[in-house]
Amino acid sequence: MSETWPWEVTEDKQEEPEPVPYELNTTKCGNFLFVGKDKLSVTYNNSVTTSGAHNNDVGAIQANNPVPNSRWIYYFEVEIKDKGADGKIAIGFSDADFKLSRQPGWEKNSYGYHGDDGKRYHASGQGLAYAETYTTGDVVGAGIRLGSQEMFFTKNGRLFPTAFRDVRLPLYPTIAVHSKNECVEVNFGAKPFVFDLEAVVAKERQAQQDAVESFQLPPGLVHRVVQQYLQHYGYSGTLAALEASSSPAPGSEQGNPRDFLQKRSEIRELILAGNIDGAMEELASAFPEVLQDTSLMFHLHCQKLIELVKLHSFQEAIEYARTHLGPYQGQDTLHDTTLQEVMAVLAYAEPAETPAVSHMMGLGQREAVADAINAALLKLVAPDASTQAPMMVLLKHLGLTQQELREATGSQGEVYDLQRALTI
């Protein structure tokens, strides 16, 4: 009886958590390195005859899983335990086809920040000036702002400027060693980072929120949207308080006659209180046309059954179902499915505490019925009117816009959370 908005993840449709990198992939790594038993430490293989003399004498290795794509930022760090002979250590990201005998950044679809020269590399053996070199004792990090597709690097907790843009997943965290005695240890987040990632995320979120709040809306628009929302759903008391506490907004209009609004409000309150008999009596008296809608009556009868079960009046509920819901059986698939779901509450002694049916025992179920009745009443006075308040339409547009923006970046970055946005 209720709908799911496109940006929401309902409990029964919750996606499995994304796999995240947590160790190095020892099943696929370069020949010029040793990986520690912890699968987090790497040492250059000094037994190799050439020992880093050539460009292909690189020992590269990737994380066991790619970067998860539903975060604000993905980040990992590497501590330089020993810079070795030449300090040719590199940190970055690469795709699944990356050659593990090459430094990240030298090959297509790979990115790197190199310790011996401090340069940044992407799809080329010629690096670009970027930041500082790093050596024994330093901690360097690599991160991706997934929504904006920007890659950055850090050293000893200091953030360097954006290194690369238009970064597309899937990519794997990647490190490489390239001369004798080089040794590093990777931290995928099992222990605190040296770089204050949480502070950066909080700062960037706040900047985004400040930009939203600085946007100027036409005078009176917010007042009109809130007023129309209250009118649409029949919140007459709140509407009266709003109008009493503020002067009329420019261009504001009373969309429904006061008595019609008041009556809708009364019916809504009866349903929210669980008084379905009272609501049907008011409907029969004031809006008998609505009772000719068999689908709406079906939902009211279903809610009446639920209210009887809440009172533990199981025998009365069974008789009510036989009398008022039985005739709907076999009429159409939707009714049959809903009826089967509602009748399930009779199978449990404490349905409110039973996960399979508890969602029907709360206020949300009553609100869904109240909204359906309210929409039907609005159609009586404005047959061509939307069944949704302008505010709801605006929020849906917002959600869909955010969804489209995320898809435009390859579905990278956090999934838009309307509830969080409204509670910031």
Residue 272 pLDDT > 80, yes or no?
yes
Q: Among all chains, which residue has been given the structure tokens 């019916």?
A: 267
**Residue 341: which H helix or E strand, with range?**
helix 333-343
301 band by pLDDT with thresholds 50, 70 and 90: very high
Instruction: Report the interhelical angle of 294-310 vs 276-286 (nearest 10°).
Output: 150
Least reliable range by pLDDT among 68-72, 290-294, 360-364, 383-387: 383-387
- Residues 63-84: what's their mean pLDDT? 96
- pLDDT, tens only, 127-136: 999 999 999 9
**Residue 174: which H helix or E strand, with range?**
strand 172-177
- pLDDT, tens only, 335-386: 788 888 899 999 998 999 999 899 999 999 999 999 888 888 877 766 665 5
* Residue 31 contacts residue 60 (beta carbons within 8 Å): no
Q: Is 206 left (phi over 0), alpha (psi -120 to 50) or beta?
A: alpha
Of the chain, the percentage scoring pLDDT greater than 70 comes to 80
What is this structure's pTM? Answer: 0.63
For residue 191, give every residue at least 6 positions away whose Cβ sits within 8 Å of its Cβ, in sequence order, or none.
none
Amino acid at position 402, single letter: Q
Q: Among all chains, which residue has been given the structure tokens 């006659």?
A: 257
Query: How is residue 4 written in tokens?
Result: 């799911």
All domains in the chain, ordered by first residue: 11-210 (2.60.120.920), 256-387 (no CATH)
Cα separation, 349 vs 112, in Å, equals 62
- pLDDT, tens only, 142-182: 999 999 999 999 999 999 999 999 999 999 999 999 999 99
Q: Among all chains, which residue has been given the structure tokens 């029964």?
A: 12
What is residue 16's three-state secondary structure? Answer: coil
